[in-house]
Structures are given as structure tokens and as C-alpha cells.
Amino acid sequence: MTSRGIAPLAALLLLCGPLRAQDPYAAQRDLMVRTQIEDRGVRDPEVLRVLRTVPRHLFMPEEVRKLAYEDRPVRIGYGQTISQPYIVGFMTELLAPARNHKVLEIGTGSGYQAAVLSALCKQVYSIEIVPELARSASATLSKLGYRNVTVRLGDGYRGWPEQAPFDRIVLTAAPPQIPQALLDELAPGGKLVAPVGGSLLGQELVVVDKALDGQLKQRSVLPVMFVPMVHQ
Ligand code: SAH
């Protein structure tokens, strides 16, 4: 490297040093993305970039924060869990989010998946059925500055007709079948990703594509285990 190249590099290191020092979890997060997500085949550079930036630990209750970057789902209270990092990465890549997309999420939980989508899309609408989770996820998201996410307390089986249609829909709780209201709220050319299956065992992660003429095409991509999507 020439001496002309060293000065800007030193300035950059000086700038980055204190920023990274403020987040003691940054190194753990980098390692999580590399070993749990990238090495297992998630390649979308934007998805990987966002997963490196969203502070997953801040979406968890303090007692379990030390588990935030481990290769597993973590309990967030009220019988619910935040999905394993790989599953979040894999589902986000399957969803193929873009800057101009309006996205609906069913099952806000901790708000972590909504934050990831918020950094990749234009607007995120998220529905949560447990009042305490809807409240705390909403508070976390606004505290961390994710301004393009709206959380609503309600039953995801009914969808969000006032905001439909959606370019992308993601379910993070498993219904026995994909609710018709959600298929109706998917825009032509849209994509829906959901765990589907009545019991804990035997769920499949399913991708539904809606063609421009409204035709639906469905494929299963992975056996999974999500909390059930409950009825109010
Ligand atoms: N996306 C979440 C993971 C949530 S776990 C995250 O990133 O943390 C699934 C969530 O779906 C739970 O919080 C559960 O309360 C919620 N849920 C279950 N049935 C629901 C329904 N019918 N409508 C909306 N949310 C539901």
C-alpha cells in the first residue's frame, strides 16, 4: 500500500473503533452470520449485511441476552420464542425483499424479524396476538429507531385488510393451512413464506408465489418447528 492509502485507512479505523466498541456483541454477531447463516448457504449480500447490523440481543429479555447469538431459538416469555438465527436468515432470503416492498408479518414476537425486514423494505406491518409482546416489541422497535414498522395487536388469521395488498407476507407461527385472508391480501407478483402444519412435528416451510394473473404456486422447502398460530 502507498503512503497515500494509509492516512484514509487510519482515519477509518479511528472512526470504526469507538463505534464497534460501543456494541460488545458485534464480534459475536459477525461470527453468528458467518458460521450459522452464510456457511449454511444464505448468500444474499443485503440480507447478510442487515443481519450483521440488527442488535438481536436488544430484542430479548435481559435474562436470556447472553444466548442471543447462539445457534438456537430463545424463549421470550408467554410461551413464545425468537427463531434460530439461521431460520431468520433463510426465511428472509426466501422472501426476496426489495426496497420498494410493503411487507406483512404475522407473529411480531420480539420484533427482531420485523427489524430485519424494516432495513430491507419500504414498510413493514406486523400483527401479534399476545398483548404484552405487541407492546414490548413496538417499544423496542421505536427505541432502536426502526420507524417504518407498524405493530398491531390482533389475530393474523384476519390479515390486515386496510393495508392490503402486500408485496411480501411472512408468517412466523404455523397455521394448519395458509389462511385464505392472507392469500387474498398477497399482491399479484407477490410472495408468501410460512411454516405450515397442524402439529409441532410435520411442519414444512412453504413458499407461495402469486403470478400476475393471480394464480398461486406452492412449494415446500424445509421441515421446520414453529410455535402454532393460534386463533383468538
Ligand atoms: N417473528 C418473531 C418470532 C415470533 S414467534 C421474532 O422475530 O421474534 C411467533 C409469534 O406468533 C408469537 O409471538 C405468537 O404470540 C404469535 N402468534 C401466534 N398466533 C398468532 C396469530 N393468530 N396472530 C398473530 N400472532 C400470532
The span from the CA of 91 to the CA of 17, in Å, is: 32
Catalytic residue among 3, 83, 138, 220: 83
Tell me the pLDDT band of 46, cut-offs 50, 70 and 90.
very high
From 74, 78, 80, the mutation candidate for ligand 1 (largest count of ligand atoms within 8 A of CB) is 80
Domain of residue 155 covers 6-224
The answer to the question of residue 232 being in a domain is no
Residue 30 DSSP SS3: helix
The answer to the question of residue 162 being in a domain is yes
Helix (H) or strand (E) holding 13: helix 3-21
The answer to the question of residue 229 being in a domain is no
Helix (H) or strand (E) holding 168: strand 166-171
The answer to the question of residue 1 being in a domain is no
Atom nearest to 112 CA in ligand 1: 7
Q: What is the mean pLDDT of residues 221-226?
A: 95
Q: Is 126 a catalytic residue?
A: no
The answer to the question of residue 204 being in a domain is yes
The span from the CA of 31 to the CA of 69, in Å, is: 9
Tell me the pLDDT band of 200, cut-offs 50, 70 and 90.
confident
pLDDT at residue 22, as a whole number: 73
The answer to the question of residue 24 being in a domain is yes
Is residue 195 scored above 80 in pLDDT?
yes
Q: Is the CB of 156 under 6 A from ligand 1?
A: yes
The answer to the question of residue 231 being in a domain is no
Residue 84 in contact with residue 72, Cβ under 8 Å?
yes
The answer to the question of residue 137 being in a domain is yes
Q: What is the mean pLDDT of residues 26-53?
A: 98
| Ligand 1 center from residue 100 Cα (angstroms) | 25
The residue contributing the CA closest to ligand 1 atom 16 is 107
Number of other residues whose CB lies within 10 A of the CB of residue 212: 9
Q: Is the CB of 68 under 6 A from ligand 1?
A: no
- For the chain, how many structural domains are there in total? 1
Is residue 6 scored above 60 in pLDDT?
no
Atom nearest to 229 CA in ligand 1: 19
Tell me the pairing of strands 203-210 and 149-153: unpaired
Number of other residues whose CB lies within 10 A of the CB of residue 228: 15
pLDDT at residue 4, as a whole number: 52
pLDDT at residue 3, as a whole number: 45
Mean pLDDT of the chain: 92
**Which grid coordinates are listed for 34?**
458467518
The enclosing domain of 95 has a CATH number of 3.40.50.150
Atom nearest to 227 CA in ligand 1: 9
Atom nearest to 88 CA in ligand 1: 7
| Ligand 1 center from residue 127 Cα (angstroms) | 8
Prediction pTM value: 0.91
